[in-house]
Amino acid sequence: MPGLEDLYREIILDHYRNPRNRGELDAPPAHRVEGFNPLCGDEIVVFLDVDDGGRIDEIRIAGQGCSISQSSASMMSSAVKGKTIGEARAVTRAFKSMMSIHESELDGEATDGELPASPSDDVKLGDLEALRGVVKFPVRIKCATLGWNTLTQGLDEVATGA
Amino acid sequence: MSEPAGRATRQHGEITPLDVAAIRKDFPILSQRVGDHRLVYLDSASSSQKPTVVLDAMSDYYETTHANVHRGVYGIAAEATERFEAAREKVARFIGAPSSRGVVFTKNVTEAINLVAYSWGRANLGQGDAILLTELEHHANLVPWLMLAEERGVELRYLPLAEDHTLDLSRLDELIDGVRLVSVSAMSNVLGTLTPVRRLADAAHAAGALCLVDGAQYAPHLRTDVVELGCDFFGFTGHKALGPTGIGVLWARPELLEAMPAFLGGGEMIRDVRLDGWTPNEVPWKFEAGTPPIAEVIGLGAAVDYLEGLGMEAVREHEVSLTGYALRTLTERFGDDLTIHGPPEPAQRGGVLSFAFQDVHPHDVSQVLDQQGVCVRAGHHCAKPLMRRLGVGATARASLYVYNDTDDVDALAEALGDASDFFAF
Ligand SMILES: Cc1ncc(COP(=O)(O)O)c(C=O)c1O
């Protein structure tokens, strides 16, 4: 049986205790998107401020959830803040591929033509690497990906002006 | 093999306390090790474990008697039908039903409630009608009515939860006025609250309404008598009552079943089929379309036999005393770090303990407990409106049954101590 230290790495607990970019933005002008984990009731709200050049100027995370969903969302916010939508999508792909599940399985719908990132994709996960241990606890993968799926939905909505 | 504890002979009229050590031996799964720990199963409110007698009844049926029921004339087909219908009699006795004609087998209690919503509900309710529910219901007793409300414009009303986590009946008269159905859980799967079913059933009848009781958490733990409860429909689910998954029960007064239109159509539920029409079978078979889960029905029969062997009064007494022990032990040890939801008095509640522990999220609590072999549920327990009412997203929940003892509660307390150390801020 994998041990707790595989799951709760120090950096994860740090993000849980001191979440980055926690709070809300006025929406509008910011874009607000909610995500739910129907299994456990975790809720995440992502606020996005995307400038005209398609860069994520500001991001805030609200909602409630377990240490894994909260820390993953916190790390996500640091990883994509200041990035373009394209860059944010690339990090998302890399992260999900680390969680070793295809996006189609995660979302229930495949994003056309998008394949999971291969390890050769030149994306640095940095702190996010700490979440790799979650894979050994399959029921917690949904916790780790909740924020990312919500972000993806938000970026899609921003892109289509929804 | 030793006699199962469920067959211990009882002196008439007196309650023999449960011999938990003997009972545990009847449940093969409980001898399992989780790493260095024994399995401490505290999630029976979600699904209970199964005693050997249930497993044996099912495998014996498959090994010696399997054939479809109500069809063949040959020996084993007749034997299969006999065992199947004998289980219906046992279930009727278990819930105090005057006749097994009122006992319909369903997949689970969710299907039992849906059956009422689709058959009785759609035949009887429409615009201008109202249903009275409560704030503490499981989704199984909410969504079928929300669907009906959407489809037919039926109004849904809710009895609120009081501060002490019992039902607030202060506005009952006003809320029940003009309703056609009162549908309520006899015991909350989150709070353990026992609801005043008899009073609500009487009030329903006085208002000209029917009363449905979701007995999923009640029938497995308290002696059940549908006549004393005064309800018109009663549902429960086999897998929470030591029985297998895939089998549930809807009891209804047979006259009601007769007046209700059939639900699912197919074989078994008909008396005659022509190319231009069909005639339904008698009740209860009218509501059992297709080949039923025969082994599961037989398994459920064995489960209720086992529970009756223990004695439902003894089961309840055991759980009241163990719940009291758990409330005392956990509160003494953790004080303000632990909030246990639900009514404070063990006599007002079942052995379901939902709690908040420090600032540790229920998922994380459950994950740390799992390392000690302690199984508790974390989540919204399919009662999201109640979670919102409590102002939480999720809770951790430990629940007790016949095979649990004070050492399981102690193991829970120990493991919570570990969680506290691990997540110390
Ligand atoms: C009060 C209550 N009602 C209904 C259900 C649904 O049971 P099932 O999923 O077996 O239909 C449950 C159990 O989850 C419950 O606790």
Q: What is the ipTM of this complex?
A: 0.76
d(CA B381, CA B369): 18
pLDDT at A119 over 70: no
B35 with B62, same domain?
no
CB distance A143–B363 less than 8 Å?
A: yes
**What was the pLDDT predicted at A113?**
39
Q: B187 in a domain, yes or no?
A: yes
Q: Is residue B398 in a domain?
A: yes
The H-or-E segment that residue B365 falls in is: helix B362-370
Q: Is residue B2 part of a domain?
A: no
CATH number, domain of B26, equals 3.90.1150.10
Residues of chain A found within 8 Å of residue B423, distances taken between Cβ atoms: 13, 67
Instruction: Assess whether B213 and B304 both reside in one domain.
Output: yes
CA distances to B79, B119, B189, B233, B307 from B215, in Å? 31, 20, 10, 10, 16
Residues B256 and B371 in one domain: no
Query: Per the domain annotation, does B5 fall within a domain?
Result: no
Scanning B291-350 for CB atoms below 8 A from A yields: none
Tokens found for residue B96: 């105090």
The total number of structural domains that make up chain B: 2
Whether A156 has a pLDDT exceeding 80, the answer reads yes
Buried b (16+ CB within 10 A) or exposed e, B260-298: bebbeeeebbbeeeeeeeeebbebbbbbbbeebbbbbbb
- A40 and B CB contact within 8 Å: yes
Does B253 fall in a domain? yes
Task: Answer yes or no: do B300 and B324 share one domain.
Answer: no
User: What's the confidence (pLDDT) of residue B423?
Assistant: 80
Q: Which residues of B touch A17 (CB under 8 A)?
A: 425
Put simply, whether B371 touches A (Cβ < 8 Å) is yes
Q: Are residues B305 and B361 in the same domain?
A: no
Same domain, B292 and B419: no
For the cut 90, the answer to whether the pLDDT of residue B26 exceeds it is: yes
pLDDT of residue A110: 40
Q: Give the residue from B255, B288, B309 where a domain finishes.
A: B309
Q: Which two tokens stand for residue B343?
A: 């009514």
| Average confidence score pLDDT of chain B | 94
A-chain residues within 8 Å CB-CB of B380?
40-41
Instruction: Tell me, yes or no, if A7 comes closer than 8 A to chain B by beta carbon.
Output: yes
- DSSP at B351: S
Q: Are residues B332 and B344 in the same domain?
A: yes
Distance of CA B420 to the CA centre of its chain: 32
Q: Which of A101-110, B70-79, B108-117, B181-190 has the lowest mean pLDDT?
A: A101-110
Q: B166: which residues sit within 8 A by CB, 6+ positions away? A: B193, B195, B343, B348
| Closest approach of A66 to chain B, Cα-based (Å) | 5
Q: Is A42 on the interface with B (CB under 8 A)?
A: yes
Q: What is the CATH number of the domain that holds B283?
A: 3.40.640.10
Smallest Cα distance from A145 to chain B, Å = 15
How much of chain B, in percent, has pLDDT values that exceed 70? 97
Mean pLDDT of A147-153: 93
Q: Ligand 1 mean position to B140 CA, how many Å?
A: 6
CB within 8 A of B424, min separation 6: which ones? none
Q: Which of B4-8, B61-65, B415-419 has the lowest mean pLDDT?
A: B4-8
Indicate the residue among B309, B337, B354 that finishes a domain.
B309
The answer to whether residue A71 scores a pLDDT higher than 80 is: yes
Q: What is the pLDDT of residue B242?
A: 98
- Record the pTM: 0.90
Residue B357 has pLDDT above 80, yes or no: yes
Distance CA B291, CA B69 (A): 8
What distance in Å separates residue A40's CA from the closest CA in chain B? 4
Residue range B365-402, pLDDT digits in tens:
999 999 899 999 998 999 999 999 999 888 999 999 99
- The answer to whether position B3 is within a domain reads no
B249 is a domain residue? yes
Within-domain flag for B40: yes
Q: What is the DSSP letter of B170?
A: T
Domain borders along chain A are 4-160
Q: Work out whether strand B130-134 and strand B270-274 pair parallel, antiparallel, or are unpaired.
A: unpaired
Write down the pLDDT at residue A120. 42
In this prediction, residue B277 carries a pLDDT of 94
Residues B75 and B160 in one domain: yes
Q: What is the dihedral of CA B83, B88, B90, B92, to 10 degrees?
A: -170
| pLDDT at position A158 over 90 | no
Q: Is the CB of B327 under 6 A from ligand 1?
A: no
User: B353 and B211 share a domain?
Assistant: no
Cross-strand bridge partners of residue B356: B339
pLDDT per position as a tens digit, B286-316: 999 999 999 999 999 999 999 999 999 999 9
Q: Residue B40's pLDDT is what?
A: 97
Domain boundary among B309, B325, B348: B309
Q: Do B41 and B85 fall within a single domain?
A: no
What is each CA distance from A137 to A6, A89, A131, A144, B119, in whole angstroms?
9, 25, 11, 11, 43
Q: Are B36 and B68 members of one domain?
A: no
d(CA B307, CA B15): 13
Largest distance between two CA atoms of chain B: 72
Q: Are B355 and B275 part of one and the same domain?
A: no
Using a 6 Å cutoff on CB, does residue B237 contact ligand 1? yes
d(CA B266, CA B270): 7
Q: Which CATH class is domain A4-160?
A: alpha beta
**Alpha carbon distance B5, B26 (integer Å):** 7
CA distance linking residue B88 with residue B90, whole number of Å: 5
Range of the domain at B75: 55-309
